[in-house]
Every structure is written in structure tokens, then in C-alpha cells.
Chains A and B, each alone.
Chain A
Amino acid sequence: MKTIKRWTAFLLCCALVLACVGCAGAEAPASGSGSSGGGIGGGVPAPGGKGRYVETDITPPDAQGEQLHSFLAEDGALECYNWDLTKKFTSTDGGENWQESDGPGAGGTLTGRVQACTRLASGSLLVAMSNNNGSTTGLVRLAPDGTTQPFPVAPLDEAIETGPSTHIGLLRAVSEDRLLLNFFSGDFGTAPEEEDGGDDDAASVPGGEDASTAAGGANGEYALEGEGSEPASAPEEEEEENTMAGFVVGGEQIEFTGLIDLASGEVIAEYPEWFGISAAADADTLYLLGYGGEVTAKALADGKPQTKGEGKVAAEQYDFSMQMATGPNGMYILTSKNIQTMNAEGAASVLVDGSSYSFSAVGNMARALHLLPGGDMVAQMDNDAGSRLYRYRWDENAVLDPDKVLNVWSLNENPLVRTAISAMRAQNPDVVVEYEVALSQGGGVTAEDAIKTLNTRLLNGDGPDVLILDGTPAESYAARGMLQDLNSVVDTGGLFPNIAAPFATTGGTFYLPTNMKIPVLLGTRENLDKAAGLEQLIQMVQSGNPLPELTEGYDVFSSLPQNTRPALIPETLREMYDLLWNSGAASVITPEGLDKYGTDEFGMVQQSGSVSMGYSGGMVAQISGSPVAYASQRALLGAYLVDDLAMLDMVMEPPETALAAFPGLGEGSFVPMGLAGISADSPRGELAAQFVNLMLSEEVQGTKTGSGLPVTEAGMKKQIADQDELLQQQPTPERFEFDYLPLVNLAQTPQMGDETVSEMIWSAAQSLFSGEMDVEGAVAQLEQELRNYLAERQ
């Protein structure tokens, strides 16, 4: 018995020692669900550790600024062509050196424009040609010597013959004898035929193969034909066709995806259900990559489904910057966030985290991914400035200096941060920025959990260097000394003074907005004057015309006669609520508690939300219902949370449109976004300050990221100049000139409402709207719910 006891004790001690050793030796877990990873698996080693993927820009020097086609030849050489295939660049040493020669298109044998291109095993190219309007005219085989030969594919040729417009979505030779072809055809994508097809034709902009085109124009900006003209007198008199950015909307649309025999051009199999972006094949299997990261497998021989190799990589719901390639160890999938591998069982893992590399930069679109024989990866990324080729090579001896690793944290993905990371990388190639998004998709972490984790780190003194404080108790962090005073380290001179001023406190400036949104009211000056205050606006809504009844076939975009237009037409109750919240959040809670005057807003919500119009339906991207209703001249006023100047300019098209601050509870409200602060305990304070300065730089502020308006004058001017340049490249060149100062000057009071309070009020508003209680009841419920919230902060 004694022996048994001794052995048991011995074994327990051994287990304890092993457990301790195991814990000590275990790699520090990646912090946060959306962590940028760490260690070799993430492409970036732990600080002080060895080995990392090193990115090298291997774009051919003579192809700078051009849009390219890139391919991997059978012998492992990299081949690049300029877009019209007149120049060819070849590298046999992984992009170190390039040899330039005439491309097969140099002889002028190609007629029309190159829309898409793929390389065949023989070295020839299969090219999709288009006319001046960007509509596909057919496929041709282009031999290295420049000779061409039509390549008929029956479904495509039929669509070209019968449909008004056809576009190639994906053209890829996946093996020696198989081609994957995706195209769509229908009444879209055709601007009126031009007599003179200039080179600036939008439809011919390289990129016909990418997702933006594949989306069938769904991402196009909304515009109304006949803008600026007098409104039609009645809906039934509206006979003009509506257009979206010059695309005619309507008619039958056909989409085809199929596996084609490269020898005969015959369709082997069709995949009508596939909605994706890339394809690759190994010896016997074709892999199709969907926009959400789903990989489906088909037999290469007959195109029939097979389950081997199917799986899913972690990706955004719709990631339009993805490419895939097959290698000896399975599939390699490049997403906008990382490079992942997937084995034959469908198990995916992150090989390279993108936060430190160019492929995750905002505006970059993955065009191709090549696996070189030595294990290097080459990614072709396209953006407005042309194509770039980046090589990723594992360097075992690369050592990461812990002082050069900057940790940036945010609750939600922030595109401006991504842009700043690119700028930071350009300025400091030896610095690695780890961007940690606490609420990344599929992480299963709540905002509260993420904040608690952050708080724990802050209390332990190992918090992130840079904090993007949206959704966090920023004021509490500042009050408790967790944030550094930015006054001495960040140049705030470029910020609009009225935007920066509210963030300066007696103790210092602890965080600054890097973007903003401004709630405005659009309308004629006369109507804006009538709605000068919140009460007047409520009165105008309640006493105005009722919302139009929706009947079957009713066109919600057609205008209404002036005398029948309601004051406001929000698309949803939530839209109206969000606008009211964003224009008065900071004023809802007063030192005495709930501002009951503010709850009068409920009345307006109740009134204006009684009909849901359902404008969007996927057609109107990034713009809410109320400004659309105003722009289509169906409402007297448009309530708009402005986050984009081009959109604002568009909805201000109706004649005599003026704008005014939305008459919320706050005086001249604006919503600060991307609140950037630096941890007081950050050991890399200088780098952190440099990063925040970059977020406020002209380069970053001037980049349109979709996260709000710039907060600096230089950024605003650059965005306007970029928009102007873009419009001048349209088939019908236009100028974009926007006087931003009246808009910016409206912004005086930042609205930094607590999400908890917002949800409490929303809950009460829903009860009110559903008829469960009246305004008094909703206010009473709100007061009860807010009592403890307020008491905790005493």
C-alpha cells in the first residue's frame, strides 16, 4: 500500500511538473478573437522570435502603374503582360530580375479591347475581347507569335449574339485541357453606344474579370436619370427608365458558369449555383472558391461534384479580394485579411496574417496568387494605381525587434486603420503593425467580453499601443489615466478646429476622431426653415401628408407631386431612430437623468415609421431611405447621416436643395468615428504617436475608406480631387466640386452615446411603435431601466 502511495505521489508530481513546463513553454495565445496572430503560423514571429514571411515588391520596373496579367508558367517562370498584351515580362528567378519582350498582342492582330486573359499550357493566351462599351465580343486563342484563332464556346457566343451586353466574370485555364468560364449577360452594363470610343471608356477599365464586375453592377452608385429636371407631375406619368450609374436596369439576366474542354470548346459541366471569385485545380480536382470562402470540389474529368477537398476558410461574408492556388500541401487561399491553407480534409489554417502585409491594404484587390516551385508565394494586387506583384518568402533568420511591433486594437474592423497600416509599412519597413479586431466575424465574442479582455490588459499594463475607442468606455479610460495626452505627440493642426476642439479637456486631449459623420436635413430653404427645431420638425412630420400606400407594382423611385409629398420618408424605423440618436445621444442623459423632452422624438418615430418603404433591396448601397426619397422627389425633406461627399452631392440634385444641421437634441451634432488614443503604458509611444499622426495624414485621410468623412482639411480636399478625377474618366466626363465648409461648420457637438443607453431607448421605442405602450409608458420604462445605469456612474 505504501509503495502504491509513493508511486501515486511520484506520478502526480511528474504530472504537475510537466503541466508547469507545458504552460511555460506554450506559445502565448493570440489575443482577441480577431487577432493578427503571431508566431510562425501567423507569418509574423513572436517579438524576439525568429522566422517570418518577408514581403518583397517584385513588380517589373517597366510595368509600374500599369494593369497587368500575371501567370505562372509550367517551368516555374513568372510571366506578366500589360493589359493590352503588347508587352511581356518574364522572370525565372522569382521576380528578382525581369526580361522584357514584345507581347503577343504587339503585332496588332487583336481587334477590340482585352477584357480578360488566361494562359494556356502551350504558352498561348486565351483572351476575352470586348467592344468599346465593354461588352464581350468573343474568345480568341493568341499564340506567342501573335497569330489569333477564335475559340468558340457555344453558350457565350449565343449570349453575345442575343443579349445586349455580356461580361466575363472569370476566365481561367485550370489545367492543360480545362477552362473555367463565368459570364453574365443582360440589360445592364451598356451605356449608350458612343461614336468615338475613347480609351477612357469606363467599361474598358481593366478589371472586367474581377468581382466588382461580377456583382452585376450591384455596387454601382445610385443616380436618377433626368436629375435636376422638373419632377413629373404624377407617378403614372413617369415613363423614363431608371438607371444606376449609366447601367440600364431591368430585363432578363443570364449568368453562366461552366467547365469547358479546351480542345473542343464544349461545355463539360455547368455550375449555375456557384457564386464565386476564383478557381484552381490539382491533378484531378477542380476547386471553386465562393465569395464567403467556401470551397467546392468537382472532378476535373467530368465536372461532377465530389466531396474530397471541400471546406471553408474564414472570410468575410462577401470578400471580393480573394484568390486561390493549389500546391503540394493543398490549397492556398488569399483573402483580404490573410493567406490560408486548406488540406484535403477541408481543414483551414492561417499561414500568413495580412495585417503586416500589403495584400490587406484597403483598396487592394487580389487578382492572382501563384505558388513558385521553391515555396514562395506571389500575389498580384490591383488598385487604382495599377497592379503590383508581391512575393512572400519565408526567412528563417528574420528577427523581429519587440520594439518594432506596434499593436493596434479596435472593437470592429476599421478600414482607415488598414490604410494607415499600409502607410506605416511604407514609412517603416522594419515595423510590424499587428491589428487586432476584437469582434471579427465568427469569433463568437460579445462586445462586452472584448471590452473586459481589453480592460484586463490595460490594468496589467500590457494594453495595445494604439486604441481605436469606438464602442468602448473611452471617457472612462481617459478619466482613469489609461490614455496618453496626445497634445504633445500628435499634430492636430490639420484637423478642422471645430472637430478637434470638443476633445480637448483640462487634463489634455486623450483621443481624437479620425473620421466623422454629420446628420443633416436636406430640403429647400423654405422647408428647412419650417423644420428649424426638433419640435417644428415633429410638427411638420405629424401634420404633413401621410406616407404613400404601397401597392403591388408601385414604383418607390417615382416622384410624387409637390403637394402630396410627406415631410420625411425613412426606409425603416431603425433608420429614423439611428438618425435621432446620432443627433442627440449626448444630450439624452442630463445631470438630472433622462431628458424627457428628448423622448418626444418617439412621437416622430412612431409617426414616420408607420410605413416601411423598403427602398434598398440591395440596389442602393450605403445610403439610407430618407435621402433617397428626397432625391427621387417623394419627400419634402431628407434626413441623412452624411458619411460620403459624393453621395451627398448626388442626393442634393433636386433643384434649390440646401442643407441644415439635423435639429436633434444636440447643437450642430456630429458623430466622431475612429477615435484614436494611445495607451498610457505603451512602451512604443513614439511609434504609436507616429501611427496616429499617419491616421490624420493627408495620405490616409484623403483615401476613401467608407468609414466616414475626413476630419482634416487636406484629407477633404484630396477626396474631392480624387472624386473629380474619377468623374472625369467617366464616358461623359463631369466635374466634382463640393464646397465642404458649410457642411463641416455644421458640426459642433460630438455625439458619443453609450451603446447600452441606445439599445435601451431603442427597446422602448420598439414597444411604443408596436403599440405595447404609449409615450408616457415608454418613458417610464426607460427611466426605470436607466436608473441603475446612472446610479453606477455616480
Chain B
Amino acid sequence: MNRNFGTIWQSGSSPQGAGPVPAGPAGPRAPGGRFPARRSRVKRGRWAPVLFLAPSFAGLLLFFLLPFADTVRRSMTNARGNAFVGAESYASVLENEAFRLAMGNTARFVAVCIPLLLAASLGLALLLRAVGGGRRLKTSYLLPMAVPVASVVLLWQVLFHQQGLLNAVLAAFGAPPVDFMGTSAAFWVLVLTYVWKNAGYNMILWMAGLDSIAQSRYEAARVDGAGPWQCFWHITLPGLLPTLGMVAILSLLNSFKVFREAYLVAGAYPHDSIYLLQHLFNNWFVNLDISRLCAAAVLLAAALLVFILPMQHFLRPDDTT
């Protein structure tokens, strides 16, 4: 968006793309100071974005950048922050079994959940678009997001406890009970919860993306004899690429919030399969292992950047289209 705005401004056209091209500051000046007044407005115009961005940037600086800088600093000092220890904490973190397990579990969770969620929510969006649905139906998909975590946890316990509803159903069919939270089934319970909770929200995002694709393209394609699958493959999917980037990043960030449910149900030391990075961070903080905690946080941030930056690059909208 900024790039487009810049392009228009540099081309010398008015933002509206119509009307005479205004003379630049270097142009001839009429007596009476007409141009100096314009220059003054231009100067003010230059500062306006800065002023409008300032509050947001201040928040970003105060709540993200400075704390992150402090995190980087602490990752290289002792717990009290008064002695430099170099990369000792990083080495310790990378050698730590709990970190490896947590990192592996988190990566596995993301790798399973994000594609599943993207596919499920896109499917829902397409279905809803195909069959048509009122605002109420759309809103109902957002309800899981409105359910408080405490309630979700209660639901988990009712459903997945060894004497819970699911096991009662299994018992009714003669199947042996499953310890959902004490075995690797816990991972899939967590995946299910995540997808259930976020599918509605992502669906709304997908629908917005679908709305942005011009109907004329579909009409033209149909005139040329394209079927539904070809329309989907050649028009819908490419048209959704910009949305995909945003939805994927939001889903990734939301996937870290699933820790709340896992923690409230299974505590600080859950089954191995759902022992996530946040469990480790939480326990390290309780134990005041702040240097390793900060080192692990920096490593995680680096890993996320490695994931997000290329994604942003590849999934950004094509300017030529």
C-alpha cells in the first residue's frame, strides 16, 4: 500500500489520479509567496504520517522492542544481569533435552495445525459461500473464540477425562477406555481444540479474501469454458495468496496461545506429547532460570522470523496484477 502511494506521488499525479499536476517545490514561484505556503503544507504533510504513527510506534517500542532488547541482554548475562556470560546460556539451551522436546513438540504442533486449520477454514468459507449463509450463521462460527478458556478447560475435562463422556461412549461400544490426557492422544486433543477454536475466525478472513476477487474473472473464465475446479485452481487460489499470508501468520501466532488450555488442563508438566515451549518458559521462570529462558526466547524469535519473513516475501500481492 505504501509502495503504491509512493509510486503515485513520485509520478507527479494527484492522489486522486486526476487534475493538473501540481508544480513541485522547485518550480516557479509567484510573487506573494504562493509556493512557500504550499511548501509549508508539504512539510506538514511529511510530518503527519510520523505523528500518526508515533503512538503506535511508542507502544511497539515500549512493549516489544525494548523488552526484546532487554531479553537479548539478559540472555547473555547472569540472572542478576551484572555479569556477562556470553553465549553460555545459548549453548546450555541447545543442549537441554527439555528444550529440544518442547521445540520439537511446538514445531510438530505448528506443522500439523496450521495446514489443517487453513484447509478446514478455507473449506468452510467456500462451503458457506456456495450454500449461502446469513450473518447469524457466520457469527456462530466465531462463537468458539468467545468461549472463555476456563470453560473450554471444563469442556475438555468433561469430554476427555478417563471417566468422561467420550470414554462413556467408547465403553458403550465395548471399546476400552482411553487415557486421552495421559497418552499421546493428548496431542490430538490439543490439535482438535485449536482447530475448533480458530476455524471460524479464519473462515471470516478467507471470506473477505474471496470477496476481493472480481466476479468478472469468474464470468470470463466460464465464458471460456472453465469448470468449477479450473476456476478454483486458476482464479480463486491465486487470488487468495495475499490473504493466505496474513491468515497463516495469524494462525501461527494463535497457535502459541493454545498453551493456556494445555496448562490449565494438564498443569506445568503435562504428557510429553503436549509439553510445549511455553511450558518450558513458564517453568524456567518459576525457577528463576532467567538467562536460559531469555536465550530460548531469542532463539524462538529467530526461528519465527526465519519462518515469517520468507512467507511475507513469497505471499505478498503481485503488483502487476
Contact = CB atoms under 8 A, between A and B. Distances in A.
B272 A480 contact: no
Contacts of B80: 459, 480-482, 680-681
Contact of A792 (B95, B272, B280): B280
Interface in B242-280: 268-269, 271-272, 275, 279-280
Contacts of A788: 98, 101, 269, 272, 275, 279
B286 interface: yes
Contacts of B289: 476, 480, 792
B55 interface: yes
A533 B287 CA distance: 34
B319 interface: no
A681 to B, nearest CB: 8
A5 to B, nearest CB: 10
B14 to A, nearest CB: 17
A455 B288 CA distance: 6
B269 A789 contact: yes
Contact of B290 (A459, A680, A756): A459
A458 interface: yes
A55 B79 CA distance: 41
A762 interface: no
Contact of B98 (A455, A473, A477, A794): A794
Contacts of A16: 55
Contacts of B81: 459
Contacts of A525: none
Contacts of A202: none
Given A788-B101, A794-B97, A476 B272 contact: no
Contacts of A756: 268-269
A792 B288 CA distance: 12
A448 interface: yes
Given A481-B79, A788-B98, A448 B286 contact: yes
A792 B79 contact: no
Given A16-B55, A482-B80, A680-B80, A791 B98 contact: yes
A794 B287 CA distance: 12
Contact of B78 (A451, A480, A792): A480
B70 to A, nearest CB: 10
A793 B287 contact: yes
Interface in A761-786: 781, 784-786
Interface in B278-298: 279-280, 283-290
Contacts of A760: 269
B299 to A, nearest CB: 16
A522 to B, nearest CB: 37
B96 interface: yes
Contacts of A785: 269
Interface string A434-457: 000000000000001001100100
A792 B96 contact: yes
A792 B283 contact: yes
A787 interface: yes
Given A791-B101, A792-B96, A473 B286 contact: yes
A458 B81 CA distance: 11
A760 B271 CA distance: 12
User: Which of B96, B101, B289 has its CB near the most chain A CB atoms (within 10 A)?
Assistant: B289
Interface in B4-31: none
B290 A791 contact: no
Nearest to A781: B182
B75 to A, nearest CB: 13
Contacts of A793: 287
Nearest to A458: B288
B96 A794 contact: yes
User: Which of B55, B79, B268, B271 has its CB near the most chain A CB atoms (within 10 A)?
Assistant: B79
Interface string A453-467: 001001100000000
Contacts of B275: 788
A792 B80 CA distance: 20
A760 B289 CA distance: 22
B288 A473 contact: yes
B97 A791 contact: yes
Contacts of A792: 96, 98, 280, 283-284, 287, 289
Contact of A448 (B268, B280, B284): B268
A411 to B, nearest CB: 12
Nearest to A759: B267
Contacts of B285: 452, 455
Contacts of A791: 96-98, 101
Given A455-B286, A791-B98, A482 B269 contact: no
Interface in B157-199: 182
Interface in B181-226: 182
A477 B290 CA distance: 11
Interface string B90-103: 00000111100100
Contacts of A473: 286-288
Contacts of A680: 80
Given A476-B289, A480-B288, A760-B269, A459 B79 contact: yes
A477 B96 contact: no
A789 B289 CA distance: 13
Contacts of A448: 268, 286
Nearest to A448: B286
A33 to B, nearest CB: 17
Given A459-B79, A482-B79, A792-B283, A477 B288 contact: yes
Contacts of A455: 285-286, 288, 290
B90 to A, nearest CB: 15
A784 B79 contact: no
Nearest to B58: A16
A787 B101 CA distance: 11
Nearest to B102: A788
A533 B224 CA distance: 91
Contacts of A459: 79-81, 288, 290
Nearest to A794: B96
Contact of B272 (A451, A458, A481, A787): A787
A144 B271 CA distance: 77
Interface in A637-686: 680-681
Q: Which 7 A-B pairs have the closest CB atoms?
A: A791-B98, A480-B79, A791-B97, A792-B98, A473-B287, A476-B287, A476-B288
Given A473-B288, A482-B288, A788-B272, 13 more contacts: A452-B285, A459-B81, A473-B287, A476-B289, A480-B290, A681-B80, A788-B98, A788-B269, A791-B98, A792-B98, A792-B284, A793-B287, A794-B98
Interface of B: 55, 78-81, 95-98, 101, 182, 268-269, 271-272, 275, 279-280, 283-290
24 contacts: A16-B55, A452-B285, A452-B286, A459-B81, A459-B288, A473-B286, A476-B288, A477-B288, A480-B79, A480-B80, A480-B288, A482-B79, A482-B288, A680-B80, A756-B268, A786-B269, A787-B272, A788-B98, A791-B98, A792-B96, A792-B280, A792-B284, A793-B287, A794-B95
Interface of A: 16, 448, 451-452, 455, 458-459, 473, 476-477, 480-482, 680-681, 756, 760, 781, 784-789, 791-794
